């Protein structure tokens, strides 16, 4: 479809197909004009925010009804700054639709320590940059020490004590996921906090030392603090401690991807990371102007984190309700369980994001695969009754094999 003007936001622009517009990449300012309807904005405006969310300013005509917000940016989260790092979180308090999972974005400088702690919730993590030393103890008394880097994961079941430390030049940054949207990073059980709130006489009895030893412990939690850079794992391992039989880390990006014409998908769940019993995830890349196909997830809400590129997502909630959202790097998206959606790469660079679920297994249904597995007559009469030629062309093109990521079309097909 050729627009009648180079500016898709002008009153004279026409696009009945609601094509995506990359207002950031094209340096365009969205205006609420659509196919001759709407008008300009006279009052105060946040121009940068509008460019990042063009489908809020000028939504496609297919959007309908009232839907809760499904988007949050970590840029809008409060940042807790500490010696050697920082943390910011996206929970149900920031994003009310984030009911099943909560996320924390954390940064540690080289040598900085996220102190020994545990949570009521399970912790899943994806390393965004740098390297991290992780330590953990299992319920059988086995210890685990591992080094992870960009694209690697770790998972600690609820209540399992652990610590994190930045290693290597530049330290690290990672995304933490907790299997409860009500999680708060401020409610962590911290070693220093517990010791600071236990009488010294009790500490003395517990550790068989004189109470005066504990005159020197911190008077409050440390949370993140600068520490010394650790040595090799074999030099750091405590003598006489048995090693855990569990594998708490996993190399997600080292997995062989499922390659599709428009990108790649890597899935990590209990099938290849057995300890991660409450969180499953997919790492997805989509080529420029390609699409993560129309689909839905039957077993859990989707909690998405966008790493690179720009995306458009329409969420279909049934009952004549649909809404379109736009995402940038650092944004979080929610799609509730069973709601239909797609993820479209609207930019000229590769789109990279994580799909994360509170579930032991990754599950999705492909719209096209479902229709291809249904009798053609049935499908054609559902969508094209009275338009036999269009219906025949549609069902003939359906692919039975699932294609999770599809490329940009080389040419638009039509029915004369």
Please give the Cα distance from 394 to 215 (Å, whole number). Answer: 77
Whether residue 109 is annotated as binding a ligand: the answer is: no
In Å, what is the CA distance from 115 to each residue of 188, 401, 411? 10, 47, 55
Q: Which residue has the tokens 């999770």?
A: 404
Whether residue 197 is annotated as binding a ligand: the answer is: no
Exposure string of 321-345, with b = 16+ CB inside 10 Å and e = fewer, is: ebbbbbbbbbbbbbbbbebbbbbbb
Whether residue 302 is annotated as binding a ligand: the answer is: yes
Q: What angle do CA 107, 137, 129 make, to 5 degrees?
A: 20
Whether residue 160 is annotated as binding a ligand: the answer is: no
**CB-count exposure of residue 393 (10 Å: 0-12, 13-18, 19+):** middle
Q: Helix 388-397 and helix 376-384: axis angle, to 10°?
A: 130
Both tokens of residue 288? 């420029």
Which entry of 344, 355, 368, 396 is annotated as an active-site residue? 355
Query: Please, are residues 70 and 325 in contact by the beta-carbon 8 Å criterion?
Result: yes
Q: Which residue has the tokens 């943390």?
A: 87
Question: What helix, strand, coil percent values describe the chain, rounded to 5?
Answer: 15, 35, 50
Whether residue 149 is annotated as binding a ligand: the answer is: no
Pick from 257, 233, 248, 275: nearest CA to 153: 248
Pick from 156, 190, 236, 228: nearest CA to 87: 190
Whether residue 297 is annotated as binding a ligand: the answer is: yes
Spatial neighbors of 272 by CB under 8 A, at least 6 apart, are 250, 255
Query: Please, are residues 351 and 331 in contact by the beta-carbon 8 Å criterion?
Result: no
**CB-count exposure of residue 149 (10 Å: 0-12, 13-18, 19+):** middle
Whether residue 110 is annotated as binding a ligand: the answer is: no
Pick from 275, 285, 235: nearest CA to 155: 275
Q: Is 355 annotated as catalytic?
A: yes
Report the relative pairing of strands 249-251 and 152-156 from DSSP bridges.
antiparallel
Q: Please spell the DSSP secondary structure of 1-50, one letter per residue.
A: ---SSS-TTSTT---TT-----TTTTT----SEETTEE----S---HHHH
Pick from 157, 135, 131: nearest CA to 274: 157
List, as residue ranges, the binding site for Mn(2+): 117, 119, 123, 162, 295, 297, 302, 341
* Residues annotated as catalytic (active site), given as ranges: 355
List, as residue ranges, the binding site: 117, 119, 123, 162, 295, 297, 302, 341
């Amino acid at each position: 479809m050729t627009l009648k003007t180079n500016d898709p936001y002008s009153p004279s622009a026409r696009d009945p197909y609601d094509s995506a517009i990359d207002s950031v990449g094209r340096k365009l300012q969205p205006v609420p004009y659509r196919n001759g309807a709407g008008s300009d904005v006279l009052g105060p405006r946040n121009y940068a925010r509008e460019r990042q969310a063009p489908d809020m300013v000028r939504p496609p005509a297919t959007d309908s009804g009232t839907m809760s917000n499904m988007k949050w940016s970590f840029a809008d989260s409060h940042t807790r700054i500490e010696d050697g790092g920082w943390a910011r979180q996206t929970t149900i308090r920031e994003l009310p639709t984030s009911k099943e999972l909560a996320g924390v974005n954390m940064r540690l400088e080289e040598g900085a320590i996220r102190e020994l702690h545990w949570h009521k919730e399970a912790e899943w993590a994806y390393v965004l940059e740098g390297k991290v030393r992780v330590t953990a103890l299992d319920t059988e008394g086995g210890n685990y020490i591992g080094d992870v880097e960009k694209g690697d994961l770790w998972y600690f079941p609820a209540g399992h004590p652990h610590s994190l430390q930045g290693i290597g030049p530049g330290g690290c940054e990672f995304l933490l996921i907790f299997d409860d949207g009500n999680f708060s990073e401020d409610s962590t059980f911290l070693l220093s906090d517990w010791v600071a709130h236990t009488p010294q006489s009790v500490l003395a009895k517990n550790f068989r030392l004189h109470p005066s030893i504990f005159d020197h412990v911190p008077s409050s939690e440390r949370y993140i603090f600068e520490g010394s850079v650790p040595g090799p794992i074999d030099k750091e391992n405590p003598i006489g401690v048995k090693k855990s039989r569990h594998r708490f880390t996993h190399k997600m990006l080292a997995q062989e991807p499922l390659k599709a014409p428009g990108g790649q998908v890597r899935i990590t769940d209990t099938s290849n990371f057995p300890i991660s019993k409450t969180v499953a995830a997919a790492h997805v890349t989509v080529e420029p102007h390609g699409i993560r196909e129309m689909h839905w997830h039957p077993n859990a809400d989707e909690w998405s984190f966008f790493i690179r590129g720009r995306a458009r997502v329409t969420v279909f909630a049934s009952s004549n309700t649909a809404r379109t959202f736009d995402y940038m790097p650092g944004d979080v998206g929610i799609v509730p369980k069973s709601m239909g959606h797609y993820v479209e790469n609207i930019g000229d660079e590769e789109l990279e994001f994580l799909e994360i679920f509170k579930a032991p297994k990754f599950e999705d249904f492909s719209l096209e695969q479902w229709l291809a597995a249904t009798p053609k007559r049935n499908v054609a009469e559902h969508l094209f009754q009275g338009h036999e030629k269009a219906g025949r062309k549609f069902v003939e093109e359906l692919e039975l094999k699932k294609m999770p990521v599809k490329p940009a079309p080389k040419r638009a097909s039509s029915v004369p």
